Structure 1
């Protein structure tokens, strides 16, 4: 059986990173029944951590690109939880995005759209999800974005 998600990733020219290891005393994901809860994934691209603060030198477009890297790491964790079988991913249920931003920055939703748009581009209607997008005065290691996710598995 062809894995439609892996085929779509290839079509989009996207390679998922390895699932990041936890940076502190937590697990990267918890599977409870058919629900998968993935810990916050920080903005980390092929060239390393994406650092910055929205509203202080970092553009919304750069923030959205950072959020997209979080989405890739979330999917890498889903793949790890499913023993490399992404066919088990039924839908994205919810994303919670944290944006390292100044007190007067108000475009957090536009930043987190970088992850949301990618999930829909990859998964279609199964990628549509409930969501929160909030400001944070600081994020771990100075990263621009952190996103956690809830996924339903088959």
Structure 2
């Protein structure tokens, strides 16, 4: 690892943790464009529920999020975020994820809770600083317990 001063390392850790949190918030808001924008152009996403089916490229990631069934509601809770700074432009991160899913009711009431939830899993990330800021070069998830 190159010599990075503490202030720079902490700033990178903060920016990368913010990126991880933004992913969850935009995902839950149904903001497909916003989620896809968090990836590098050649980024890779392997969802925790489909770890062996990686989606490659920002455009494919966008299409995948846009193809979600209408009315699906999610709430992700992310914790235990650890960022390992490798250089001023590269980092790795790991985090734990808790996912609740539901289906919109149509009458404006709270979504009906999915009977197999919550799902508990993780993400392992490779992060890269680009002209757009820190982005996911690779985001690989998995589940810790069967649904």
TM-score range, shorter chain: 0.3 to 0.5
Q: Which has the higher contact order (CA 8 A, sep 6+)?
A: 1
Larger helix percent: 1
Which structure has more strand as a fraction of its residues? Answer: 2
What TM-score comes out, normalization by structure 1 length?
0.32
In the superposition, the TM-score normalised over structure 2's length comes to 0.33
